[in-house]
Amino acid sequence: MKENPDNKPPRILVLSNADFESRGFQAIVRGLEHCLGECLPGLTLEYFSFAPKRYCYLESKGLKLISHPWANGNCETLNTFSYLVLIPKSLLRAVYYKLRPAKNPYRHYNALLHINVDCLNETDYGFVCVCLNLLKSWAGLRAFGCPLLTAPVDIGPFNTPVSRFMGRYILSRAKLVALRDELSYEYLLKLGLKPERLYLGADMAFLMPPASREVVEEVFMAEGVENDNRFIIGISPSLFQMELENIFADSAADKPEVYLMLIAELADFAASTFDAGIYLIPHVHPDDSRVCHEVYARMQHKNGVHVFSGDYPSETVKGLIGECDIFISCRMHASIAALSQAIPTLTLGYQEKYWKLLGSYLGQSDYLVDIKKPNPRDIQDELKQKLSCMAANRPAISTRIKERLGIINHRASVYGQRVAEVISRGKPVC
């Protein structure tokens, strides 16, 4: 691999469609920094933000935020109206920087990295979401004049001729399109992208290290958790999942209440059947924290149950999950936090990505349960059966997870090498 021609530490601009307060996005960012930092010594990642003052506290945790040139606001997402301004604005900037390169504030960056988190699947997120996020990549490529890369995500399907044309046209202009599952990789090959521009990697959250044991002990002390060496089952319920409209179709009762009772009954079953301590660990604060407390209020076996109440960064949440012997998760990145530590994990899924990433990729299909089944009693029976099977076969399950993790961690790490190769081939725009 050639050296940087200017012999300067590499700098990468980062676009995203996610909120910086999302623990899943934090995990992706931390894993990305870990992965790229090993392959690109001295690397600086700078994240575009529409509200850098709102997230200024993140700079103390190592995130460097810069003001977004496209819009101002209080969130990290663009609305449809913003895109009507974004496209001509990007084209004008591209022409201006071409004529006056010295005025281009982005000329020293080596690449533009777009993290399209869970948005390029038209079946799940719709035509408008897919097209707008593709346009965001294209506009960034034109406006900033840097080679375009993507972080590993699942892409496709594109269900209309328009979205398929846009996907093929825009993604083919990226120097590297990274995927996190085989189905997405095969789909883009069929769409017409060249294999040398594609890379089958893994979700970067797998590479995020958990908080140190000392940090976890500090949380235990602050929360009043007694570590009595009991068998621990962690549970991470989800407000988003609780509010889904397409769950429990056969139930005439209030669906959020049915959901809370479903999790509470499962927690009671785990506590009584396995004589286990229960950790209710919110993955998103404060949304999931409220759900954890509601679940606790409905439980019958409260002895040995602890609800974590603090607002912790993603590394700390992963460290707390790492204290569990078995984990029950209602969010994909909470599942990744557990599985990346080889903890047997029972996941309640509701989108295809769960089965693609955790099922096919990690070999955990036997421990995925579809929360969209119409009858909550069927879901409860399946959860209890799978949890019992998991408890009986925990060492063997953990061993199988470790075998798959070796492949995943290798693919995730090689992604950093591929990014370094792209940067070494091109110099910053000047």
Q: Any bridge partners for residue 64, and if so which?
A: 46
Model confidence, pTM: 0.90
**Which of 15-19, 58-62, 81-85, 362-366 has the highest mean predicted lDDT (pLDDT)?**
362-366
Of all residues in the chain, what percent carry a pLDDT higher than 70?
93
Q: What angle do CA 344, 350, 355 make, to 5 degrees?
A: 55
**Alpha helix positions (H), 250-310:** 255-274, 287-298
* Radius of gyration, alpha carbons of the chain: 22
**Distance between CA atoms of 33 and 44, rounded to whole angstroms?**
9
Q: What is the pLDDT of residues 276-324, one digit of tens each?
A: 999 999 998 889 999 999 999 999 999 999 999 999 989 999 999 999 9
**pLDDT one-digit tens code per residue, 16-57:** 877 777 888 889 999 999 999 989 999 999 998 877 777 777
Q: Does position 329 have pLDDT exceeding 80, yes or no?
A: yes
* Contact criterion met (CB below 8 Å) for 263 and 235: yes
Residue 64 has pLDDT above 90, yes or no: no
The 10s digit of each residue's pLDDT in 67-113 is 877 765 555 556 666 667 777 878 888 888 888 888 888 888 999 99
Mention every residue, 6+ apart, whose C-beta is less than 8 A from residue 86.
70, 71, 78, 135, 136, 139
